[in-house]
Amino acid sequence: MMKIKRILIANRGEIAVRIMKTAHLMKIETVVVKTAIEPYAMYLTGADVIFDNSEDNSEIPVFLNIEKLIAIALETKANAIHPGYGFLAENAYFAQKCIDNDLIFIGPSPDAIYKMGNKTIARKIALASGIPMAMGSEGNIANEEEAAVIAEKIGYPVIIKAASGGGGRGMRIVRKADEMEKMFIIASKEAEKAFNDPSVFVEKYIDNPKHIEFQILGDSKGNVIHLGERECSIQRKHQKLLEEAPSCALDEKLRKKMGDMAVQIAKAVDYSSAGTVEFLLDTDKNFYFMEMNTRIQVEHPVTEIITGLDLIEQQIRIANGEELRYKQNDIKLKGWAIECRINAEDVQAGFSPDPGKIENFNMPSDPCVRVDTGVQTGSSIVASYDSMIAKLIVRGKDRKDAIKNCKMALDKVWIKGTKTTLPFFRMLVRHQKFQDGTFTTSFIEKDLEKYYFNSDYEEMLAAWLSTKLFVEENLNDDSINVNFEHGKTMSPWLLNKRINQF
Amino acid sequence: MANDKIRIKKLYTLSSENRKFSFSLPLKHKIKIGKREYEVKLKADEKYGTYILWKNRKYPVEIIRSSQNKYEILFNDISYTFTVETPFSLQRMKVLNSNRGKIEQEIIKAPMPGKIIDVLVREGTTVLRGEPVVILEAMKMQNEIISPVNGMVVKVMAKPNTNVMKDDILVEIKL
């Protein structure tokens, strides 16, 4: 029986839309929160209840305000909360607060969140479970001298990581002993600033690894299965840009071995929900446990495509106390899926965020394409939140087919108003190293000379357009006489209007 | 300049990476690739906004900035900066650039008409920026003419007790 009747979605953007979609299919009502920053956001349409929080002048965004969210859930008579990803998704205190208020937290137990959230505790659990790990300090380290001693023992390069970290912050690679002091201080300060906890630990740095993660599902009865891997090696400064499932670096044997390890570590914390165990895979196919994410991931759709499962539905069912309906043998991976994160970023300016209003938004509707988005024409990408515009998820019967479909789909995406990561993906799908699958996490930093793709024709057409504008502004009616008096600075708006009149 | 009407047959459009495209006037809505000409159409509608239609494909275009002859265009999500030059402005730019090319030479000219009182350097002397090279008397005042650069004096045109006109070359310095 479904106990969950109404879910407060403690999130925004595409993940709020995504959660709502499944809730509707399951005939569960949803509550969303309207904020002053995004009063017309797409995630507000289609919910059963909109809680208007736009009068709230607090400096903390509502999605990070535990007391407020609990109060909203109680007031709107929601009996469950889905945190999505980011914000409070991996906050053990929030999960506990939900339980204390008789609200079902759609996620793992506070205990599992806490243990996996603290990297030093997670390392100890992994070690006790016999999971291969990069060598490193047993716990947090006190100072740079201690770090240097450990680094001497395991050999450089090493990486300093924040104990409470994630998302690449509070991490520093140290290649030589004389860099240790400086890097230790930087990492520790960054960790304190980002996670309110300066503790760091040291481990062996794996050069040029692939990022391989396993999706797992565990229920409250102690059953845990894995849904295969995702490869997320295409990243920049530890931020993932493209993910695919499965990975061409794994064969059945390695998949089983790594998958079993992922299940084992989840069992060690009585994990019950959807979760992700991240590994690094070196060039000799040795793998090392990195961390476990106790939430739904941005890249979950690629797993949904190759397994045919709805992961949000699984999360809800597990939170409802249901037993998993699948055994490990029921899970068959079929086909290939690629996800491109289309962000409002300027690839030509080092992926710097480019917030703005989306003036036109058209996505391909081919059967091989799935689009997860919280954006429509007229939406704004605001600087206060992440730069995600949409996830373009493409399937194929195998990797080659998926890349081919992805290339086609990328040419059909039409977004105007902000610069996007599209030119990067157009380059990527044409790159030899991407096509043959030999790329690693250092691909963007090391193997690329140019971050975007354009044909010579495109530059020429842009030149033609500039010339056309010049002619319109500076030349008289007979088109061949220059009048330098005109053609002063003109607002782009006016120019666009003028083009429209051609 | 308002009445300077000059017949122009061609425009040169230069990219910020110094690639040059030339277009004949009147500007055709066609672009030649190899032996074939392809039609270029600039269009706009509700769904797509402004776009260029070329070889049966739509490309999104936006004008980011425009000032005088400089344009920043977003074409298919990539930004380009161009300057559009007429044959005359291109020629002028070339001259300016070639002058800029000789920047290893600094020419010190007389800032005003007057009489050279003293020349403080000889050919082969090294000078530092701010160092006086010539004393020029004008309007009953002695003015120190100083070197704006560090370098070596390669030519001295100024002679003591001679009169100079404005912009006469006094000293040439090699950087």
- CATH number, domain of B122, equals 2.40.50.100
Residue at B46 is within a domain: yes
Residues B93 and B135 in one domain: no
**Over 90: is that where the pLDDT of A124 sits?**
yes
- B128 and B47 share a domain? no
C-beta atoms of B8 and A422 within 8 A: no
Question: For residue A432, what are the contacts with CB-CB under 8 A and spacing of at least 6?
Answer: none
Q: How far apart are CA A329 and CA A326, in angstroms?
A: 8
Q: Does A442 touch chain B (CB under 8 A)?
A: no
**What is the token pair recorded at B41?**
């159409």
Q: What's the pLDDT score for residue B140?
A: 61
Please tell me if residue B37 touches chain A, with a CB cutoff of 8 Å: no
* pLDDT tens digit sequence for A405-419: 999 999 999 999 999
Instruction: Supply the pLDDT for residue A491.
Output: 47
- Supply the CATH classification number for the domain A6-106: 3.40.50.20
Extract the tokens encoding A462: 């842009």
Within-domain flag for B52 = yes
Choosing from A12, A123, A230, A295, the catalytic residue is A295
Domain co-membership, B116 together with B166: yes
Last residue of a domain, one of B46, B76, B101: B101
Asked whether residue B69 falls in the same domain as residue B143, the answer is no
Whether B35 maps to a domain, the answer reads yes
Q: Which of A19, A118, A65, A349 is nearest to B74 (CA)?
A: A349
The whole-model pTM stands at 0.82
Structural domain count of chain B: 2
Question: Does B2 map to a domain?
Answer: no
B124/B71 same-domain check: no
Domain-wise residue ranges, chain A: 6-106, 135-204, 210-447, 456-500
Question: Is there a single domain that holds both residue B110 and residue B90?
Answer: no
On whether the CB atoms of residues B58 and B47 are closer than 8 A, the answer is: no
CATH 3.30.1490.20, applies to A135-204: yes
Burial B21-32 (b: 16+ CB within 10 A, else e): bebebebeeebe
* Minimal C-alpha gap between A492 and chain B (Å): 6
| Chain A contact present for B31, CB below 8 A | yes
- In the stretch 59-98 of chain B, residues with CB closer than 8 A to chain A read 59-69, 71, 73-80, 82, 84, 86
Residues of A in contact with B80 (CB under 8 A): 459, 462-463, 466
* pLDDT mean over B145-164: 90
Least confident of A23-27, A435-439, B98-102, B121-125: B98-102
**Chain A touched by B140 (CB under 8 Å):** no
Mean pLDDT check: name the lowest of A129-133, A185-189, A434-438, B168-172: A185-189
Classify residue B4: in a domain, yes or no. Answer: no
Q: Please tell me whether residues B14 and B81 are part of one structural domain.
A: yes
Instruction: Examine the residue annotation and report whether A295 is marked as an active-site residue of this protein.
Output: yes
Residues of B with Cβ-Cβ distance to A416 under 8 angstroms: 48-49, 60, 62
The domain in which residue B35 lies consists of 10-101
Other C-beta atoms lying within 10 Å of the C-beta of residue A79: 17
Nearest CA to A201 out of A232, A231, A171 is that of A171
Instruction: Looking at the structure, tell me whether residues B121 and B62 fall in a common domain.
Output: no
- Does B92 reside within a domain? yes
* B87 within some domain: yes
Q: Is residue B5 part of a domain?
A: no
Q: Do B87 and B26 fall within a single domain?
A: yes
Tell me, yes or no, whether B96 and B16 share the same domain. yes
Q: B38-92 pLDDT, tens per residue?
A: 999 999 999 999 999 999 999 999 999 888 899 999 999 999 999 999 988 888 8
Instruction: Answer yes or no: do B151 and B71 share one domain.
Output: no
Chain B residues in contact with A349 by the CB 8 A cut-off are none
pLDDT for residue A478 is more than 50: no
Chain B CB within 8 Å of residue A419 CB: yes
Say if residue B47 is in the same domain as residue B63.
yes
Residues in B closer than 8 angstroms to A415, CB to CB, are 60, 77
Q: Which CATH number describes the domain made up of A210-447?
A: 3.30.470.20
Q: Which residues in chain A (397-416) have CB-CB distances under 8 A to chain B?
A: 411, 414-416
How many residue pairs from chains A and B have C-beta atoms closer than 8 A?
Answer: 154
